[in-house]
Amino acid sequence: MANKNEIKVFTYLKSVSNLFKNENDQDCILGDIELENKFFIPAYQRAYSWEKKQCEKLYNDIMKLVNDNNSLDYIFGSIIIYKSDKNIEIIDGRQRITTFILLLKAVLNKIEYDFKREDEFKLAPPSKPDSNSAKIQRRLKLQRKKIISYLYYIDLAEVDVDNDIDSDEIFLSQKYSNLTIKYISDSMYESPSVKDTLKNILQNNISNKNKSNFTKNFKFFEEQLKNSDVNKLYKFIDKLCDQCKIIVTVCNSQEVAIQLFHTLNSDGLHLTNADIIGAQLYNKCHIKTKFKKTWSHIIKELGNLQKKYNIDIDNIFEQYIYIRLVKESTQSITLPEVDVDVLKYFNKIISNFPDNSSDGPLAFAEDISNIVDNWTKKIDDIELYNLKCIMLKQYNYIKFYYATYSFFYGVENKNMQKKLVKSLIKLFTIFVLQETNTIQSTPYKDFLDKFNIDDNNHIVKEIEAYIEKNFNKETIQTKINKAAVKSGTTNKALIYLNEYLCSPEKDELLETLERVYTVIPKSEKDKELKPYIHKLGNQKLEKKKSTKKNSVETNKPEKTNNDIDINEKIERVKQNTQEIADRIVEFIFSKEEEKEDLQ
């Protein structure tokens, strides 16, 4: 008995003809004409974004086949589809499929335009049916009939190749506006008017005022085909329909298709969980305008957050999972692993929302927006701003606790925020120094599992007591002295922490600073000096260079003097590192001032 969960993936090499024609033939992607399958663009797909440069390359590649009279097939990329009972869902390849449709329509218009020109086919009198012009005329009529069947669902018996083209065109022009096209877009990233653009082009209802990529690319193809003679046009259509090949991967489920797409596009721009989850919520939500506004705000703010602190939508989703677990449970909650299957977790939640509901999808979006806003909200307290900056430089686990606290208790009490963030930084600075890949495998897991933010009056005291009981100053100092700060490591948070501790007034915005090398440059190749390049004592922050002319820069880094003795450089780095270690250790083991009002 077949396993319904069995993954099935089939890959074929198909021509443009095979993509668009409906026949009871295994070579045809759309399949039986009676089923009226369509190419379906799901809501999570991005907007149609190909521009002239991509269309120009496509057109020039086809023309090269024509001019070289090349009999070899040309592969124009790949698509991944999920073939449901009703439609062909395009998981990857929306840009190519859409562009081929625009090109086919431009070709159809060119054929019909040429048939109306007196200086072309009317040179072949009925008495000479075997003339070259008459042969091309009939071939183009057949090609026209094929292209009509590629773009629309129509009984081809109604398109009589032997009829006079003018009378046939009158018949079809009346039907174009009512014909069913083989393409549906549900992309939530396109407005209703933009979604209708391709439909309007195919129904000969294009507006010159429309400036979408659909219209621009269609007009580009029309302009390119404008001066093609009938012989070249015939060859162009032949190459386009039969020698332009696409690698088509057919999957037996949407989940498999999306997983495959992510795997094949791991180094490129691929669908994010935000795209897919956002689209699923959008489809379920009745108040779509309000949902889109909220979701657009999330994506915009996340762009800034990721650029500054490398927090992406999956990090936010993971924080939301933890928040939901804390909210729904009365016992200790283990932090979700970094590799938690975010999509699968939220799919179960979203599937339970009824169609055309409002509360579920909107509440979900507003919760995510709340988490994002708590990270991006403007802070007028510089010290608190800097503390958050240090926290964001730590690895992800520290963010779960602050996100949970902010979600349940808000961010209005700055005094409590400072106490909480300082205590979290102390705790996670120690964890960073342990050089473990995951907190889940450390001896501190039991403490963290019990450390849910449900009563924030005791959080700071609990952390301070835990640190005092389980760690000593000498061990932490030794680890800081040994710590190396390289690109991509979490130890870079130590540089920001030190800079914060060095500023007595806490009035220097850490965000305006960037890391530089001081005593020993990064390019140093001397074997004796290389071990000290990445030491904390060789790191210094300076203000980012201003783009404004005549700007005055302060806090310049210490200049490297090549005349300084090697041993002196080493001693200076060691001394700087020891001072940093003393400073950080003092901070870690300090006690926050007790205040009655911690709420």
- 62-81 average pLDDT score: 84
Please classify residue 505 by burial: count the beta carbons closer than 10 Å to its beta carbon, then call 0-12 exposed, 13-18 middle and 19+ buried.
exposed
Q: Say yes or no to pLDDT of 56 above 90.
A: yes
The pair of structure tokens assigned to 69 is 């009279």
Kindly report whether the global pTM for this prediction surpasses the value 0.85: no
Q: Can you give the pLDDT at residue 98?
A: 94
How far apart are alpha carbons 362 and 271 in whole angstroms? 22
Please classify residue 190 by burial: count the beta carbons closer than 10 Å to its beta carbon, then call 0-12 exposed, 13-18 middle and 19+ buried.
buried
2-11: pLDDT as tens digits: 455 566 788 8
- Let me know how many helices (H) and strands (E) the chain has, helices first: 22, 10
- The helix or strand, by DSSP H or E, that contains position 9, with its residue range, turns out to be strand 9-15
250-298: pLDDT as tens digits: 888 877 787 777 666 544 445 677 777 887 888 788 888 888 889 888 8
Q: Say yes or no to pLDDT of 102 above 90.
A: yes
How far apart are alpha carbons 23 and 71 in whole angstroms? 25
Q: Compute the mean pLDDT over every residue in the chain, rounded to the nearest whole number.
A: 79
How far apart are alpha carbons 404 and 376 in whole angstroms? 15
Q: Say yes or no to pLDDT of 52 above 90.
A: yes
Q: Say yes or no to pLDDT of 71 above 80.
A: no
- Give percent above pLDDT 70 in the chain: 77
CA angle 3, 8, 11 (to 5 degrees): 165
How far apart are alpha carbons 102 and 222 in whole angstroms? 9
pLDDT band with cut points at 50, 70 and 90 for residue 560 = very low
Phi-psi region of 69 (alpha: psi -120 to 50; beta: other; left: phi over 0): left
Buried b / exposed e along 116-131 (16+ C-beta atoms within 10 A): eeeebbeebeeeeeee
Q: What is the dihedral of CA 260, 265, 270, 272, to 10 degrees?
A: 50
State the residue for tokens 């041993």: 567
Q: What are phi and psi of 404, to 5 degrees?
A: -65, -45
pLDDT band with cut points at 50, 70 and 90 for residue 218 = very high
Query: Which of 472, 489, 479 shows the shortest CA–CA distance to 589?
Result: 472
Answer for the pair 34, 81: CB distance below 8 angstroms, yes or no: no
369-414: pLDDT as tens digits: 999 988 888 778 888 888 888 887 776 678 888 888 888 877 677 8
Q: Can you give the pLDDT at residue 566?
A: 87
**498-502 — which CB contacts under 8 Å span 24+ positions?**
498/536, 498/580, 498/583, 498/584, 499/541, 500/386, 500/387, 500/390, 501/583, 501/584, 501/587, 502/583
Contacts of 520 (CB under 8 A, 6+ apart): 529, 532, 533, 538, 560, 569, 573
Residue 535 DSSP code = B
Q: Can you give the pLDDT at residue 426?
A: 92
Q: Can you give the pLDDT at residue 266?
A: 46
Neighbouring-strand partners of residue 520? none
- 349-356 average pLDDT score: 81
| % helix, strand, coil for the chain, step of 5 | 55, 10, 35
How far apart are alpha carbons 372 and 379 in whole angstroms? 14
415-432: pLDDT as tens digits: 888 888 898 899 888 887
How far apart are alpha carbons 416 and 495 in whole angstroms? 24
Query: Which of 147, 194, 189 shows the shortest CA–CA distance to 172?
Result: 147
Q: Select the highest-mean-pLDDT range: 10-14, 70-74, 267-271, 502-506.
A: 10-14
- 70-82 average pLDDT score: 83
The pair of structure tokens assigned to 551 is 């700007």
133-149: pLDDT as tens digits: 777 778 888 898 889 98
Answer for the pair 301, 372: CB distance below 8 angstroms, yes or no: yes
Q: Say yes or no to pLDDT of 45 above 90.
A: no
pLDDT band with cut points at 50, 70 and 90 for residue 130 = low
373-385: pLDDT as tens digits: 888 887 788 888 8
Please classify residue 219 by burial: count the beta carbons closer than 10 Å to its beta carbon, then call 0-12 exposed, 13-18 middle and 19+ buried.
middle
